[in-house]
Chains A and B, each alone.
Chain A
Amino acid sequence: EVKLLESGGGLVQPGGSMRLSCAASGFTFTDFYMNWIRQPAGKAPEWLGFIRNKANGYTTEYNPSVKGRFTISRDNTQNMLYLQMNTLRAEDTATYYCARELPGYPYVMDAWGQGASVTVSS
């Protein structure tokens, strides 16, 4: 069974940093592109970025809205995905999801975690 489990959320002050983790299991992690998506309460989800699979060199792409502040990485020995978030703002408050991309269908997510809540507030 495919499982994705986010952790590391919580309260952070404006200007601060936070790293989210996503533990993956039930599939060959290195074969898949992995994404981060966030969703402010009551609003539309927003794609943040992805990290490619082994065959494509684990390179990354980001939404321009977070490029330069957010960094996606992965530890393929531990089947872990990470989202490093810096210079956080109140508008970064959201539930953050990791998601696996459907092979062969760019930008389609066929498995999601249940989300980690991040609140940016003083």
Chain B
Amino acid sequence: DVQMTQSPSNLAASPGESVSINCKASKSISKYLAWYQQKPGKANKLLIYSGSTLQSGTPSRFSGSGSGTDFTLTIRNLEPEDFGLYYCQQHNEYPYTFGAGTKLELK
């Protein structure tokens, strides 16, 4: 199975700041990486897929980059609703696998 390693595990930031979350695959997954947001009491939200394609409804302050084994989710000009958990997931090969998550907290 492809192992997905996210970093950092925890991240503290203030509204208006920019942050980056990294995801590293144990082997090349081409461009096939998705990012999800998880918040308590809410359904998980797909933000980005295929590395950099924004899902419909994802604000433009979110962006994804990378290919091969190294990927980054960047959130510019943080809004209060952006705080939560973020997961990466490779969608290149079966069985598809997730990272352990990054908790984005309010500083």
CB within 8 Å of B: which residues of A? 4, 43-47, 61, 63-65, 97, 99, 102, 105-114
Chain A residues lying within 8 Å of B87, measured Cβ to Cβ, are 44-45
Chain A residues lying within 8 Å of B76, measured Cβ to Cβ, are none
Could you tell me which residues of chain B, from 84 to 106, have a CB within 8 Å of some CB in chain A? Answer: 87, 89, 91-92, 94-101
Query: Which of B32, B44, B89, B92 counts the most A-chain CB atoms under 10 A from its CB?
Result: B44
Chain A residues lying within 8 Å of B94, measured Cβ to Cβ, are 61, 107
Could you tell me which residues of chain B, from 44 to 99, have a CB within 8 Å of some CB in chain A? Answer: 44-46, 49-50, 55, 87, 89, 91-92, 94-99
In the bound assembly, the distance between CA atoms of A110 and B34 in angstroms comes to: 10
Chain B residues lying within 8 Å of A109, measured Cβ to Cβ, are 34, 36, 44, 46
Q: Please state if A108 and B97 are interface contacts (CB–CB under 8 Å).
A: no
Binding site of B, secondary structure by majority: helix, strand, loop or mixed? loop
Rank and list the top 7 A-B pairs by shortest CB-CB distance, nearest first: A107-B91, A112-B44, A107-B96, A45-B98, A112-B43, A44-B100, A63-B95
Q: Which residue of chain B has its CB nearest to the CB of A106?
A: B91
Chain A residues lying within 8 Å of B46, measured Cβ to Cβ, are 102, 108-111
Q: Please state if A43 and B55 are interface contacts (CB–CB under 8 Å).
A: no
Chain B residues lying within 8 Å of A99, measured Cβ to Cβ, are 44
CB of A28, distance to nearest CB on chain B (Å): 17
